Structures are given as structure tokens and as C-alpha cells.
Structure 1
Amino acid sequence: MKKIFLLFLLAISFSACEKDDICIDETTPRLVLEFYDDASPANTKNVTGLKIKGEGAIGDLVLGTFSGVSKIYLPLKTNDDITKYSLILNSASTNPLVINEDFLQFNYTRENFYVSRACGYKTIFELLSFPAGVIQTEPETPDLPWIRSYSIQTTNIETENEVHIKIYF
């Protein structure tokens, strides 16, 4: 009788177990920017001391400083249709004449999809049509823009497996 009761308790304890809640699906994608040489547009170009700040956050959220990379990933706001970034080239320089700041504003629509219990919701974005999808502006300081031009490769931002915008400098 004790063995049957023990076996019954063991069976009940295992029946209460659930599968692990680990998200293996792709979640909300980030915007993929790739940098190219303006003089030779077919060649990628690494950035040097590129500091990226999210505009509009309290104290402007610094996403990091990038050097020696030609591709970066930027998150877009999932609760707004506009995200602004400040891109500061040569930000670590002690010479203020080589530090150059440009602003990029991304305008988009967004749609939420339920992925799973473990992952929750995923937001996909669609940039507005050219030229409203990306707006480049200069700060009030009198320097020339370091971003010479940009090219939108795809307006649908559903995955991080492709370049969304090419930036030439």
C-alpha cells in the first residue's frame, strides 16, 4: 500500500511539471545600418569612435561607442512611430574640430504579433516611403555632415539578417 501511495505521489509531482519557457524564436528586430566608403561605394568602411545616443530620453541614452566595425544594430521604439539617434563620429578625439555629430530620425509604422508564451509579442516595423522614412539633420554647431548620403535597402524591418540602410561617409 505504501508503494502504491509513493508511486501515486511521484506521478502527481511529475504531472505538474511544464516545459521550459525559453524563447528560441526571433523577437523584435533591430534596425541594421552598414557603413560604406563614399569614394568607393561598393566597399564597406569601418567607423572610428562612433558614439550613438538615443534622442529624447532623459539625459539621452548612450547605446555605446563603436570602433572597427562596419555594421551596427539600433533598436527602434516599440511604443512610438519615430526614433531619433545622434551619431557622433570620432567622439573619443581630444581635438574638437574632428568630432562631428549628425542626427538620423526614423519614421515608421509598427505592427505587433504574438509569438509564443515564452517570447511574448514581436513588433515588426515598416519605414515610411522615401524620403520621409529617414530624415538626416545637422546639429546647431557649424560643421559639415559626416554622413554624405544613405540608401534604404528595405523598408520592411522583420529580421536582423539583412542590411536595412546603407550609410556612405
Structure 2
Amino acid sequence: MKKVLILLLIAFTFSGCEKDDICIDETTPRLILEFYDIANPANLRNVINLKVQGQGADDFIVFNTALLETDPARYLFNGNKIELPLNITQDTTKYTLILNSTSSTGTNTDFLQFNYSRQNVFVSRACGYKTIFELNPTPNGVIKTDAVPADTFWIQDINIQTTNIETENETHIKIYF
């Protein structure tokens, strides 16, 4: 009888334990941009030596963390799909995008401003809250401006695929150049 009581006491003691507090759920999603060929809109197109800087940031976004901190190539993006974080404390985020940033003559700078509303959603005790975003409807969900002095826009067209930014599993915006 003592053994049964001890086993019941042990079982009752451990029944109140919870799972480890390890977050495996998605957290605040980044904005997914894909680049397309303006001449063939169905075809993806790689950007070359793209540098991206958030408004007010001291440095460019790091795309290659494997490189040394002193290597300027860690800021270069070459590809057709990019993930950008949105500001979780404001309803707008502005980025500077510099195409061909390593060229001495062929750089081209455009600015993109993303306007959205935000909502904090409870994920779990381990993860806490995440912010989900909803881009404003076209045309002011994404505003494109040019550098001063103005050069030609390298971003020729912007197509919002989905206004709800809740996961990173889909393309949110297509950029044609």
C-alpha cells in the first residue's frame, strides 16, 4: 500500500510539469520580395550586387554572415528573392536599394516605403508575441521614390501579391526591373 501511495504522489507531482520553453513556432515574419524580368514578367531575374539599407540604420543589411565583419561583400545580395524585416513599432518602413552597388559608374538607387498596419498576436508561452502586418491597399502600400539627384528608376513596376504578411512561406511583393 505504501508503494502505491508513493507512486501516486510521484505521478501527481510530475503531472504539473510543462514542456520545455523552446519556441518552435513562427515569429514575426519578414517581407518577402521576388525580382522579375520586366521584359518577360513570368521569369525570375537576379539582381546584381544589391545593397539594402533601412532608413535610419548605420549600416547595410548583412546577407552573408559567413564572411568576416570587415569584408564589404557581406552586404552584397545576388539573387532573385530577398527577405526584409518590417518595423514592429511604426506603421511604415523605408529601405534604400542600390543596384550594381560595386560599380563605379552604373549604380542606381531607388527607395521603397512600405505602409501597413500591425497587430500583435500571442503565439505561445515560449515564443511570446509576434507582429503580423497588413499592407495598405494599392497604390500607397508600397511607395517608390528615386535618389536625389534623380537617376532613372531601376525598379519599373511593383505588384503586391498579398497584403497580409503573416508567414514567410509566400511571396508578398513582386518587383519588376
Is the TM value for this pair above 0.5? yes
**Are 1:110 and 2:121 matched, yes or no?**
no
CA change 1:61–1:50 in 2 (3 A) is closer
**Are 1:165 and 2:158 matched, yes or no?**
no
For 2:112 and 2:155, how far apart are their aligned partners in 1? 10
Mapped contact 1:25–1:115 kept (Cα < 8 A): yes
TM-score, normalisation: structure 1: 0.85
Mapped contact 1:101–1:146 kept (Cα < 8 A): yes
Equivalent residue, structure 1, for 2:96 = 86
In structure 2, give the amino acid aligned to 1:106.
Answer: F
Residue 24 of structure 1 aligns to a residue whose secondary structure is: coil
Of the three residues 49, 63, 77, the one matched with 1:66 is 77
In structure 1, give the amino acid aligned to 2:28.
Answer: T
For 1:142 and 1:72, how far apart are their aligned partners in 2? 25
RMSD over aligned Cα, in angstroms?
2.0
1:41 Cα deviation from its structure 2 partner:
0.6
Structure 1 residues not aligned, in runs of 5+: none
Aligned length: 157
1:62 Cα deviation from its structure 2 partner:
3.1
**Pairs within 5 Å for 1:1-169:** 15=14, 19-57=19-57, 59-63=58-62, 64-67=75-78, 69-93=79-103, 95=104, 97-169=105-177
TM-score, normalisation: structure 2: 0.81
For 2:18 and 2:118, how far apart are their aligned partners in 1? 33
For 2:114 and 2:150, how far apart are their aligned partners in 1? 23
1:79 Cα deviation from its structure 2 partner:
0.6
For 1:38 and 1:156, how far apart are their aligned partners in 2? 25
Residue 95 of structure 2 aligns to a residue whose secondary structure is: strand
Structure 2 residues not aligned, in runs of 5+: 63-74
